[in-house]
């Protein structure tokens, strides 16, 4: 597999011909909504391992490498017959390699709502180790609102994907509530009830394990949360269940704030089986325009995380969405959420050129709407996904966790498949 960045004058058909593919293959791989309108700067996944190129008069290795967006060194390495890179002959057939860079095997978790389309679920399952059903909502008394997810669980298990029960301290229409977490963490009766309900749900729904996604915990409940996790693990491990947690993206233990303080990385790393670090939302709904998961910021989190959590327990969070901000940013204004494929479709429809920020390792573009307002859109493409996926091998992480898989983004899976094997625990 390789990634091709669309240039001015390119068409889908010329790109397909260049790599020996059909237009339909490119349309499918890249989920192109309007194949006749590519955006300059758009990244396309090219599902090929090798192309055979016949040299034409006047061509050099440099021009051929540029044509395929590869390097002279890669071509020379694949063609031992080239003894002098400055001299190639017309009519000579060269191997242009696009071999996958396999970096090992990883775990992949995907959070999913029960509303996930059937076709999206079926296409996603081969690329998953776990599917975490989101979410069972806990209340202050330790009760949990059940999910109607047993059909999805059966399909997951049939595909050797381990279903996880995700529990949150949320209430419909109100989001995460500190008060719910506080009650469960500090009230013995509520905690007993919660654990009883969790065990019953794990057994009834045939789950593989439990994911605890408690957020916005009061800072003074930090040690209570640590003790709660130890009790959960001591209770569920003997029953054969694994326990994972989701934590905010911290860069130090001293990082303050309702989202961060109570998430004790060291304690989680010592206690649970895996820790999902939510390495996204730097660019968020009510903030200024920027990449959702800029790689420089993700690195800062991982640099700290691996010092206190065993790297082999960490799943790096991967967002599966982008944002469209109206400029100039005004505090209190909200960006619009859009899918990664929707972002590219928008760029092509408005004639925007997609640019790539090398610091954030993320694509973005600007456009003007019908009211003359300037917009900025940040999203993910094959290049940004590939860049962050390399961090998994670099830091020795267990793998990644997608939020969420409800919107199919085929590029995610094609890039991962070109870099890693997917572990199956069933």
Query: Which band of pLDDT confidence, cut at 50, 70 and 90, is reported for residue 308?
Result: very high
Question: Which CATH number goes with the domain that contains 282?
Answer: 3.20.20.80
Q: How far is CA 333 from the centre of its chain?
A: 26
Task: Say what the pLDDT of residue 203 is.
Answer: 98
Q: Does one domain contain both 218 and 278?
A: yes
pLDDT digits (tens, 9 = 90+) for 7-36: 999 999 999 999 999 999 999 999 999 999
pLDDT digits (tens, 9 = 90+) for 328-346: 999 999 999 999 999 999 9
Q: Does one domain contain both 196 and 270?
A: yes
Number of alpha helices (DSSP H) and beta strands (DSSP E) in the chain: 14, 21
Task: Say what the pLDDT of residue 289 is.
Answer: 98
196 is an active site residue: no
Q: Does one domain contain both 27 and 136?
A: no
What does the alpha-carbon distance between residue 164 and residue 317 come to, in Å, rounded to a whole number? Answer: 16
User: Is there a domain that residue 356 lies in?
Assistant: no
What does the alpha-carbon distance between residue 111 and residue 364 come to, in Å, rounded to a whole number? Answer: 25
Q: Does one domain contain both 82 and 129?
A: no
Q: Which of 259, 249, 252, 311 is nearest to 280 (CA)?
A: 249
Q: Does one domain contain both 190 and 263?
A: yes
Q: Is residue 156 within a helix (H) or strand (E), and if so which, with residue range?
A: helix 150-158
Q: What is the tally of structural domains in the chain?
A: 2
Strand, helix or coil at 297? helix
Q: Does one domain contain both 167 and 202?
A: yes
Strand, helix or coil at 318? strand
User: Is there a domain that residue 114 lies in?
Assistant: yes
User: Is there a domain that residue 292 lies in?
Assistant: yes
Selected catalytic residue, list 196, 215, 223, 394? 215
Question: Which CATH number goes with the domain that contains 31?
Answer: 3.10.350.10
* Phi, psi angle pair for 136, to nearest 5°: -80, 125
User: pTM for the complete prediction?
Assistant: 0.97
Q: Does one domain contain both 127 and 268?
A: yes
- Neighbour tally for 301: CB within 10 Å: 22
Q: Does one domain contain both 26 and 150?
A: no
Q: What is the mean pLDDT of residues 108-121?
A: 98
What does the alpha-carbon distance between residue 32 and residue 411 come to, in Å, rounded to a whole number? Answer: 11
Q: Are 125 and 161 in contact (CB under 8 A)?
A: yes
Task: Say what the pLDDT of residue 82 is.
Answer: 95
- The alpha-helical segments, DSSP class H, found in 23-149 are 23-30, 61-68, 72-78, 118-124
pLDDT digits (tens, 9 = 90+) for 161-216: 999 999 999 999 999 999 999 999 999 999 999 999 999 999 999 999 999 999 99
Residue where a domain terminates, one of 55, 74, 97: 97
How high does pLDDT run on average in the chain?
Answer: 98
Longest alpha-carbon distance in the chain: 82
Q: Does one domain contain both 217 and 310?
A: yes
Q: Which of 273, 278, 243 is nearest to 263 (CA)?
A: 278
How does 124-141 read in b/e, with b if 16+ C-beta sit within 10 Å? Answer: bbebbbbbbbbbbbbbbe
Which residues does residue 50 pair with via DSSP β-bridges, in sequence order? 97
Query: Which band of pLDDT confidence, cut at 50, 70 and 90, is reported for residue 225?
Result: very high
Q: Does one domain contain both 114 and 162?
A: yes
Kindly compute the dihedral angle of the four CA atoms of residues 150, 341, 289, 111, in this order, to the nearest 10 degrees. 20
Q: 76: burial class by Cβ within 10 Å (0-12, 13-18, 19+)? A: middle
Task: Say what the pLDDT of residue 207 is.
Answer: 98
User: Is there a domain that residue 387 lies in?
Assistant: no
User: Is there a domain that residue 116 lies in?
Assistant: yes
User: Is there a domain that residue 325 lies in?
Assistant: no
Q: Which of 133, 279, 108 is nearest to 211 (CA)?
A: 133
Residue where a domain terminates, one of 97, 129, 148: 97
Query: Which band of pLDDT confidence, cut at 50, 70 and 90, is reported for residue 324?
Result: very high
DSSP symbols for 70-101: --HHHHHHH-TT-S-TT---TT-EEEEE----
How does 389-401 read in b/e, with b if 16+ C-beta sit within 10 Å? Answer: bebbeeeebbbbb
pLDDT digits (tens, 9 = 90+) for 71-84: 999 999 999 999 99
Q: What is the mean pLDDT of residues 395-422?
A: 98
User: Is there a domain that residue 334 lies in?
Assistant: no
Q: Which of 69, 74, 71, 75 is nearest to 55 (CA)?
A: 75
pLDDT digits (tens, 9 = 90+) for 259-306: 999 999 999 999 999 999 999 999 999 999 999 999 999 999 999 999
Q: Does one domain contain both 20 and 117?
A: no
Q: Does one domain contain both 76 and 115?
A: no
Residue where a domain terminates, one of 76, 97, 118: 97
Q: Are 300 and 252 in contact (CB under 8 A)?
A: no
Which residues does residue 323 pair with via DSSP β-bridges, in sequence order? 337, 378
pLDDT digits (tens, 9 = 90+) for 46-66: 999 999 999 999 999 999 999
Residue 93's domain comprises: 2-97
Task: Say what the pLDDT of residue 401 is.
Answer: 98
User: Is there a domain that residue 270 lies in?
Assistant: yes
């Amino acid at each position: 597999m390789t990634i091709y960045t669309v240039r001015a004058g390119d068409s889908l058909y010329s790109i397909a011909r260049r790599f020996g593919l059909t237009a339909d293959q490119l349309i499918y791989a890249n989920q192109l909504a309007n194949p006749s309108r590519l955006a300059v700067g758009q990244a396309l996944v090219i599902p090929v391992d090798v192309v055979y190129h016949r040299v034409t008069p006047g061509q050099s290795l440099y021009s051929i490498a540029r044509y395929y967006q590869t390097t002279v060194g890669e071509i020379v390495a694949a063609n031992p017959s080239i003894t002098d890179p400055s001299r190639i002959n017309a009519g000579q057939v060269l191997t242009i390699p696009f071999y996958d860079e396999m970096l090992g095997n990883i775990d992949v978790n995907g959070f999913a709502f029960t509303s996930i389309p059937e076709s999206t679920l079926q296409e996603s399952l081969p690329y998953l180790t776990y599917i975490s059903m989101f979410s069972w909502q806990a209340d202050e008394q330790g009760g949990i609102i059940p999910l109607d997810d047993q059909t999805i669980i059966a399909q997951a298990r049939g595909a050797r994907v381990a279903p996880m029960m995700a529990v949150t301290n949320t209430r419909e229409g109100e989001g995460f509530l500190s008060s719910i977490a506080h009650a469960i963490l500090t009230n013995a009766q509520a905690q007993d009830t919660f654990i009883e309900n969790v065990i019953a749900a794990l057994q009834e729904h045939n789950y593989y394990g439990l994911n605890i996604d408690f957020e916005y915990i009061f800072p003074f409940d930090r040690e209570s949360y640590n003790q709660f996790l130890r009790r959960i693990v001591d209770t569920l491990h003997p029953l054969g269940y694994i326990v994972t947690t989701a934590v905010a993206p911290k860069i130090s233990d001293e990082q303050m704030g309702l989202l961060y303080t109570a998430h004790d990385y060291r304690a989680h790393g010592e206690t649970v089986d895996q820790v999902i670090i939510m390495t996204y939302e730097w660019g968020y709904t009510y903030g200024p325009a920027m990449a959702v998961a800029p790689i420089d910021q993700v690195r800062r989190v991982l640099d700290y995380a691996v010092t206190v959590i065993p790297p082999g327990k960490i799943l790096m969070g991967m967002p599966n969405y982008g944002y469209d901000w109206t400029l100039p940013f005004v505090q209190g204004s909200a960006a619009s959420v859009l899918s990664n494929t929707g972002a590219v479709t928008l760029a092509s429809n408005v004639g925007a050129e997609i640019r790539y920020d090398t610091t954030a390792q993320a694509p973005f573009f600007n456009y003007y709407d019908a009211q003359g307002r300037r917009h900025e859109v940040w999203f993910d493409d094959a290049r940004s996904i590939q860049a962050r996926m390399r961090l998994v091998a670099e830091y020795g992480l267990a793998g990644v966790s997608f939020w969420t898989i409800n919107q199919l983004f085929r590029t995610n899976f094609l890039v991962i498949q070109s870099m890693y094997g997917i572990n199956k625990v069933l």
